[in-house]
């Protein structure tokens, strides 16, 4: 494990970057600021290491960015309609930071805070944060830990663990953007091949991207990734759901039974890098980076 300075936040907080390496030479870098996954470097078919996630060089750049590169999103990822919810007979108001909705619990998300490193080894790091009652508008004091582990077969494992003293909303995710050609390749992901093990998805009502509640089949639509296809093949199709969101930005209902199962596979023909993603959740949000631009 190697650690180095990673910049200074406006309030003077000093950030550290931790780089973990496995026995095969693959490595991941994680910052205690935001529990950010900054880089994932794995070998391509020629044995050359490529960084397959988008990231910045210091936290000053992360603070200026708007795309949540590598962020641990909390308490709740994705959108909450009308920036409010009711729980146990109480209505809680959140910040309306995207149209009338709340996106990724912002402002003041967990990706903009210094986490405590409670354990670190050559291949694993655990970070801890306490979110007080009514933090971001959510009820209860949430005690949360996130562990990143780099395995010998180049897997990056994320484990979330937390407890709260009240009923609350917790919907954590990691918001890394993957490009299996390498983040400095100069290419987009549109030629990369994707399979999603989901026969259904949840359509959104309009451009505000709130689900309608319907569970719709992907068959016969551009949303269908049940058989491997290039991400860009249908991304510009004249299909209402894609027009609403400017490309793919939808929740897929996974075909799964129990435990941790494969949910998706992505492959770069250019580098030979294949990524298999696994989860014990019932859905996965596929976002094709529609609004990343030049960030």
Cβ within 8 Å of residue 217, ≥6 positions away? 199, 200
Report CA dihedral (235, 239, 240, 242) to the nearest 10 degrees.
Answer: -10
Which pLDDT score is estimated for 291? 79
pLDDT at 241: 98
User: What pLDDT does residue 220 have?
Assistant: 97
What pLDDT is recorded for position 15? Answer: 96
Asked whether the CA dihedral 280, 252, 273, 187 is positive or negative, the reply is negative
CA atoms lying within 13 Å on the CB side of residue 175: 25
pLDDT digits (tens, 9 = 90+) for 214-244: 999 999 999 999 999 999 999 999 999 999 9
**Helix (H) or strand (E) run with residue 283 in it:** strand 283-287
User: Cα(151)–Cα(160) distance, rounded to whole angstroms?
Assistant: 17
Measured between alpha carbons, how far is 203 from 134 in angstroms, rounded to an integer? 31
pLDDT reported for residue 244? 97
pTM as predicted: 0.94
Task: Quote the pLDDT of residue 108.
Answer: 87
Task: Give the pLDDT score at 84.
Answer: 98
Residues of the chain scoring pLDDT < 50: 295
pLDDT of residue 46: 96
- Which pLDDT score is estimated for 294? 54
């Amino acid at each position: 494990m190697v650690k180095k300075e990673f910049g200074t936040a406006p309030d003077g907080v000093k950030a550290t970057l931790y780089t973990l390496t496995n026995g095969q030479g693959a490595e991941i870098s994680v910052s205690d600021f935001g529990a950010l996954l900054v880089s994932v470097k794995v070998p391509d078919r020629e044995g050359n290491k490529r960084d397959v996630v988008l990231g910045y060089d210091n936290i000053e750049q992360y603070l200026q960015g708007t795309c949540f590169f590598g962020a641990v999103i909390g308490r709740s990822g994705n959108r909450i309609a009308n920036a409010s919810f009711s729980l146990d007979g109480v209505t809680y108001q959140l910040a309306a930071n995207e149209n009338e909705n709340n996106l990724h619990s912002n402002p003041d998300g967990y990706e903009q805070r210094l986490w405590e490193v409670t354990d670190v080894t050559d291949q694993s790091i655990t970070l801890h944060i306490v979110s007080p009652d009514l933090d971001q508008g959510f009820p209860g004091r949430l005690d949360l830990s996130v562990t990143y582990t780099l395995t010998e077969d180049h897997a990056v494992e994320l484990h979330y663990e937390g407890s709260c003293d009240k009923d609350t909303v917790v919907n954590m995710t990691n918001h890394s953007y993957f490009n299996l050609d390498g983040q400095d390749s100069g290419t987009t992901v549109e030629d990369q091949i994707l399979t999603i093990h989901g026969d259904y998805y949840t359509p959104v009502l309009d451009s505000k991207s709130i689900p309608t509640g319907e569970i719709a089949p992907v068959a016969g639509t551009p949303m269908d990734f049940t058989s491997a296809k290039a991400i860009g093949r249908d991304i510009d199709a004249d299909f209402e759901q894609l027009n609403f969101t400017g490309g793919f930005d939808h929740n897929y209902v996974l075909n799964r039974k129990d435990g941790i199962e494969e949910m998706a596979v992505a492959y770069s023909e250019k580098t030979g890098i294949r990524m298999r993603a696994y989860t014990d959740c019932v859905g996965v949000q596929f976002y094709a980076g529609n609004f990343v631009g030049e960030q």
